[in-house]
Amino acid sequence: MSLHDSGMKTRRKVLGEAHVARAEASKTSFDAPFQELIIEAAWGRVWSRDQLTLRERSMLTIALLAALGHDEELAMHTRATLETGATRDDIRETLMQVAIYAGVPAANRAFKIVKDVLSAIDAEKGAA
């Protein structure tokens, strides 16, 4: 299987078909090379490896995004993390690690973002 194919398969598994379909639909000739880089390098070369589970990779991703202050990606990956077998408790514990190793302000911001995402998920489930 090509890096592109394995990357797309893993990307769909983690982020969901709807997210990937939106990303693909919004792709232009300007950002197509960047999207291909993400698909092949991030999803095909790293996320598709067998050494860590998708759950473990998701929790690592949450920690890194929180530590680096990448709020939009943190929100997106919070949703994805729940689809990889991680629980809300796992996410909380990951953010506790962020507080110790990346600082309380980074964790404080991340907790706010994650709480907002979880509230939105709960509201969506209640509306369904």
> Would you write out the chain's pLDDT as a tens digit for each of its 128 residues?
899 999 999 999 999 999 999 999 999 999 999 999 999 999 999 999 999 999 999 999 999 999 999 999 999 999 999 999 999 999 999 999 999 999 999 999 999 999 999 999 999 988 76
Same domain (yes/no): 82, 57: yes
Helix (H, G, I), strand (E, B) or coil at 79: helix
pLDDT at residue 1, as a whole number: 85
Same domain (yes/no): 115, 80: yes
The residue to which tokens 């929180």 are assigned: 66
**Residue 30: CA count within 13 A, CB half-sphere:** 1
- pTM for this model (two decimals): 0.91
Whether residue 79 contacts residue 38, with contact meaning beta carbons closer than 8 Å, is answered with no
pLDDT at residue 127, as a whole number: 79
Given 12, 28, 51, the domain boundary residue is 51
pLDDT at residue 96, as a whole number: 98
* CATH code of the domain containing 108: 1.20.1290.10
Separation CA 95–CA 115 (nearest Å):
12
Same domain (yes/no): 62, 102: yes
Same domain (yes/no): 116, 59: yes
Domain extent for 109: 52-128
Separation CA 64–CA 27 (nearest Å):
26
Separation CA 83–CA 16 (nearest Å):
8
